[in-house]
């Protein structure tokens, strides 16, 4: 065979293979692991807002706003993510409206979605009561805080999950059990340092996938974590399984097409 003929054929063959690999399936469509704002180490089930939806599990969409911490929306509250530990599936959250304020400014309760998250340590509920009558003094009252220039005025802190009662609004917030109720300022400091939640998305399917050389994707049709593999558009549970099937279907297909032909 003439070498001048062979080289272009080989190049075309390689280009076709590369093109096939890149255009097929979901493999390579998601960046992982990735950093977002000031925090790095995110991976599936998280995805960035601008990533394709299959890159993350529903409810784990991040807004990355360099140079600020990433934010996530849980039950209509924006939280800042201060840290993430993918191994233990734990992240540290602080309410976005408490970043510059000792009191919640959005008058919504902090209720995490218990389908997706759990508190990691034992916590206790604390209620912030807004717009209470003068000299209002609920049972077990912890103290009161001046809530800044935004007009919310004096806010009363009470233990437990209380409704507004005689006040205009109540906002329930989790705090660590261990803090106790002695010092309102310390309590607030803890709220601003953040609280830990564990995400409950099962880690096994994604670990099996990445362990076999694949990338985790979310399949909206099955509502499950699936595995995207190189060189196939099929989504499976792991790439080794897919690979075996493929090999038995077409034993001649090689993952390194060029090498066999090199002189």
Ligand X SMILES: *[C@@H]1O[C@H](CO)[C@@H](O)[C@H](O)[C@H]1NC(C)=O
Contact residues toward ligand X (CB under 6 A) are 75-76, 96, 99-100, 107-109, 123-125, 161, 163-164, 169-172, 213, 230, 239, 243, 255
Q: Which is nearer to ligand X, 143 or 164 (CB)?
A: 164
- Residue 131: name the closest of 142, 144, 122, 121 by CA: 144
Closest distance to ligand X from the beta carbon of 203 (Å)? 21
Q: Helix, strand, coil: what percent of the chain each, to 5?
A: 25, 30, 45
Residue with structure tokens 């990355």? Answer: 64
Q: Which is nearer to ligand X, 51 or 246 (CB)?
A: 246
3-state secondary structure at position 149: helix
Peptide linkage before 33 cis (omega within 30 of 0): yes
Closest distance to ligand X from the beta carbon of 117 (Å)? 13
Q: Which is nearer to ligand X, 33 or 211 (CB)?
A: 211
Q: Give the H/E segment covering residue 171.
A: strand 169-176
Closest distance to ligand X from the beta carbon of 75 (Å)? 4
Can you say how many angstroms the Cα of residue 129 is from the centroid of all Cα atoms in its chain? 31
Closest distance to ligand X from the beta carbon of 80 (Å)? 8
Radius of gyration of the chain (CA): 26
Q: Which is nearer to ligand X, 86 or 205 (CB)?
A: 205
Name, in order, each residue with C-beta under 8 angstroms of 94's C-beta and a sequence gap of 6 or more: 79, 80, 82, 191, 192, 193, 194, 195
Q: Which is nearer to ligand X, 137 or 255 (CB)?
A: 255
Closest distance to ligand X from the beta carbon of 213 (Å)? 5
In the bound state, the residue with its beta carbon closest to ligand X is 163
Contact (Cβ atoms closer than 8 angstroms) between residue 84 and residue 199: no
Closest distance to ligand X from the beta carbon of 8 (Å)? 27
Q: Which is nearer to ligand X, 86 or 148 (CB)?
A: 148
């Amino acid at each position: 065979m003439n070498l001048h003929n062979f080289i272009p054929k080989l190049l075309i063959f390689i280009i076709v293979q590369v093109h096939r690999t890149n255009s097929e399936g979901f493999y390579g469509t998601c960046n992982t692991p990735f950093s977002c704002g000031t925090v790095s180490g995110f991976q599936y089930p998280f995805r960035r807002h601008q990533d394709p939806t299959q890159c993350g599990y529903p409810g784990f969409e991040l807004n990355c706003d360099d140079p600020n911490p990433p934010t996530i929306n849980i039950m209509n509250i924006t939280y800042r993510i201060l840290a993430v530990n993918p191994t233990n599936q734990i992240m540290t959250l602080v309410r976005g409206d408490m970043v510059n304020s000792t009191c919640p400014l959005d008058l919504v309760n902090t209720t995490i979605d218990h389908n997706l998250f759990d508190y990691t340590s034992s916590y206790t509920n604390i209620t912030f009561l807004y717009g209470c009558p003068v000299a209002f003094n609920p049972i077990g009252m912890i103290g009161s805080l001046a809530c800044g220039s935004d007009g919310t005025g004096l806010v009363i802190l009470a233990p437990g999950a209380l409704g507004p009662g005689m006040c205009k609004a109540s906002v329930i917030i989790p705090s660590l059990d261990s803090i106790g109720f002695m010092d309102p300022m310390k309590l607030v400091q803890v709220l601003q340092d953040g609280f830990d939640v564990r995400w409950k998305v099962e880690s096994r399917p994604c670990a099996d996938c990445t362990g076999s050389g694949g990338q985790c994707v979310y399949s909206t049709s099955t509502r499950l974590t699936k595995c995207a593999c190189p060189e196939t558009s099929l989504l499976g549970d792991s790439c080794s399984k897919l690979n075996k099937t493929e090999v038995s279907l077409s034993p001649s297909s090689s993952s390194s097409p060029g090498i066999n032909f090199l002189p």
